Amino acid sequence: MLKLDAHPTGRHFLQIPGPSPVPDRILRAMSLPTIDHRGPEFGVLGRKVISGIREIFQTRHPVVIYPASGTGAWEAALANTLSPGDHVLMFETGHFASLWAKMATRLGLSTEFLSWQGTDEVLPNAPGWRRGVQADQIAQRLREDREHRIKAVCVVHNETSTGVTSDIAAVRGAIDEAKHPALLMVDSISGLASAEFRHDEWGVDVTVSGSQKGLMLPPGISFNALSPRALDASKTAKLPRAFWAWDEIVEMNATGYWPYTPNTNLLYGLSEALDMIQAEGLPKVFARHQRWAAGVRAAVNAWGLPIQCADPAVYSPVLTGVILPDGMDADAVRKLIYERFDLSLGTGLGKLKGRMFRIGHLGDSNDLTLLATVAGCEMGLKLAGIKLQSSGIQAAMDHFSQHPAPALTA
């Protein structure tokens, strides 16, 4: 029987692409006593996180914080802006894009799901799950829509099931080029605070995000970053909403409070995460993830295994998907690595089940924890009988040695 605390010494390696490892500083901040959510002290915390989170989204407009998982914030984005039967255009980049599309259909929207039209030798059943959003396909579909039936374009920024980061500015460009009034909604649940994201500059109307990925918090809070156009749309949108409704939350947030009991201790954690990210600076945070990702990809390339993302222009800085040789069960390899080395890797989701695993390089990590992660993978792959071309550990060490991070003492 597996005990609840099965990690007697050292630490468990949580290298899934979310929840990510939480820094001790954040865990300590969350252990403060729970306070009155209507009291004066709470207002200080509320105002700090409500204004601070805008900097992370790079927006001047309201960001709504929900005590919910990312899935809740997906629903909030659709329910606040759209009406029953509205037509929405989505793009199949992977499992999370598929789940959001399924949700849109369940909410009573008419969902059109575009997908990449090419073939792929390595993964013939899921060619589009190795590539990013194709903005030209969106542009063409919008140009055809002369009556403006399409009310929203919804895409995933960092597709966590595959390790592909799509070009959101290009999607905005496609909508503008077609002179189409559709809203642009983006899931950056795993992209925020790990991959470059600019809500205002990229003209995003609603950005959906969550706590347990780049923000390095435990799961439990999620976000909708808004635009003035999204707020306008919410005034006439007819999908039913109550708990998710932006109006009352945005109104009460002006003073640092919520219409219901917010997730107090996670907000302490958010406050600490904002301090950490602001002290480092967003450009350094993004560069750090890019550097880690390049080191992990160097390892996968050395092994001679295909990376899930087939287009180097859209490699994710957040996670790397590793495709196993045909006939190998990736989940059996993951289980072996977990049992032998106390290392958790991300499972293959949806169409990728059993074909690949995912290495998360986000949250409370550094060069040496990532080298240990690569070592755990390499030992497990060999134990599973997979022939590797060369040492991924050596390749990752070489990468990290030859590409120094900014010095700790600088």
Ligand X SMILES: *Cc1c(COP(=O)(O)O)cnc(C)c1O
> Is residue 263 at the binding interface for ligand X, with CB under 6 A as the rule?
no
Question: Is 360 near ligand X (CB under 6 A)?
Answer: no
How much is the CA Rg of the chain, to the nearest whole Å? 21
- From the CB of 188, what's the least distance to ligand X, in Å? 8
Residue with smaller CB distance to ligand X, 101 or 298: 101
Does 69 bind ligand X (CB under 6 A)? Our answer is yes
CB closer to ligand X, 160 vs 320: 160
In the complex, minimum distance from the CB of residue 134 to ligand X, in angstroms, rounded to a whole number: 18
CA distance 181 to 89: 13
- Pick between residue 18 and residue 46 the one whose CB is nearest to ligand X: 18
∠ CA 97-72-87, rounded to 5°:
50
- Cα–Cα distance measured from residue 36 to residue 161, given in angstroms and rounded to the nearest whole number: 39
Nearest CB to ligand X, comparing residues 76 and 397: 76
Q: Least CB distance from residue 331 to ligand X, whole Å? A: 19
Comparing CB distances to ligand X, the nearer of 128 and 392 is 128
- The residue among 221 and 231 lying less far from ligand X, judged by its C-beta, is 221
CB of 16 to ligand X, least distance (A): 10
How many other CB atoms sit within 10 Å of the CB of residue 252? 14
Q: Which residues of 217-241 are buried (b: 16+ CB within 10 A; e: fewer)?
A: bbebbbbbbbbebbbebbeebebeb
Of 199 and 399, CB closest to ligand X = 199
Q: Which of residues 267-326 bind ligand X (CB under 6 A)?
A: none
Contacts with ligand X, 167-206, as mask; x by CB under 6 A = --------------------x-xx----------------
Q: Which of 27, 52, 71, 282 binds ligand X (CB under 6 A)?
A: 71
Of the candidate spans 68-76, 113-121, 272-280, 368-376, the one that interacts with ligand X by CB under 6 A turns out to be: 68-76
Interface characters, 205-224, with ligand X (x: CB under 6 A) = -----x--x-----x-----
**Helices 367-383 and 282-303 sit at what angle, rounded to 10 degrees?**
20
Between 190 and 263, CB nearer to ligand X = 190
What is the pattern of x (binds ligand X, CB under 6 A) and - over residues 94-113? --x-----------------
Q: Which stretch binds ligand X (CB under 6 A): 56-64, 69-77, 85-93, 369-377?
A: 69-77
State how far the Cα of 92 lies from the Cα of 90, in Å rounded to an integer: 7
Minimum Å distance from CB 219 to ligand X? 6
Question: 259, 226, 203: which is closest to 80 by C-alpha?
Answer: 226
Q: Which residue is nearest to ligand X (CB)?
A: 70
Q: Is 358 annotated as contributing to ligand binding?
A: yes
Residues 16-45 that bind ligand X (CB under 6 A): 18
Binding residue count for ligand X, defined by CB under 6 A: 13
* Nearer of residues 164 and 375 to ligand X, judged by Cβ: 164
* Residues in 134-173 at the binding interface with ligand X, rule: CB under 6 A: 156, 160
Residue numbers belonging to the annotated binding site for substrate: 358
Residue numbers belonging to the annotated binding site: 358
- Which residues are near ligand X by CB under 6 A? 18, 69-71, 96, 156, 160, 187, 189-190, 210, 213, 219
